[in-house]
Amino acid sequence: MEEVCYLHPQTPAVAKCTDCKKAICEVCLKRVNTKPYCEACATNHHEQSPWLAFIFAFFVPGMGQVYNGDWQKGLVILLTGWLVVPWIYGIVDAVTVANKIRNGIQESKTVPPGYLLLALKLGVLPLSCLYFGIVFTLFAAFTGLIKLMLQLG
């Protein structure tokens, strides 16, 4: 017996939803990151964008990893990004992983919900200013301290 779409009993199914495993027809099929979903489950996913990953990772070290669903790696890069090398690594890693997720090669560990994604998009520039503001302040304070010590010495 040929499997039919769960919404359209007259129409043959072409795929099974990745999440709820229901059989779906051509009309109901929504592809996200190359994986098949029914219309309802597709709303819980978003197409991973390497461009967005690049922008996030470039402006805020670690943010590209958060976008890719890897909070722990994101936190490590956030804390070490001022050393520059982890920051550059973070940009390359974010784009590479986002590409893999988009092509269905790798799973996102967690799918950021829509509101979080919106918060990231709106917050990227303020967060960037905050991050580099803190880094530059600490750097200026540190070099100021060294100068003072040299003068005193």
List residues binding Zn ion (CB under 5 A).
Answer: 5, 7-8, 17, 19-20, 25, 27-28, 38, 41
Q: How far is the CB of 31 from Zn ion (least distance, A)?
A: 13
Q: In angstroms, rounded to a whole number, what is the distance separating the alpha carbons of residues 108 and 102?
A: 9
Q: Which two tokens stand for residue 48?
A: 């991973």
Q: How far is the CB of 69 from Zn ion (least distance, A)?
A: 20
Contact 57/128 with Cβ under 8 angstroms? Answer: no
Q: How far is the CB of 68 from Zn ion (least distance, A)?
A: 23
Q: Which CB, 8 or 46, lies closer to Zn ion?
A: 8
Instruction: Using alpha carbons, select from 110, 49, 35, 119 the residue that is nearest to residue 74.
Output: 110
Q: Which CB, 31 or 96, lies closer to Zn ion?
A: 31
Q: How far is the CB of 42 from Zn ion (least distance, A)?
A: 8
Q: How far is the CB of 17 from Zn ion (least distance, A)?
A: 3
Q: In angstroms, rounded to a whole number, what is the distance separating the alpha carbons of residues 53 and 139?
A: 27
Look at the chain and count its residues: 153
Q: Which CB, 38 or 63, lies closer to Zn ion?
A: 38
Q: Which CB, 17 or 97, lies closer to Zn ion?
A: 17
Instruction: Using alpha carbons, select from 128, 51, 64, 122 the residue that is nearest to residue 93.
Output: 64
Q: Which CB, 45 or 88, lies closer to Zn ion?
A: 45
List % helix, strand, coil for the chain (3-state, nearest 5): 60, 10, 35
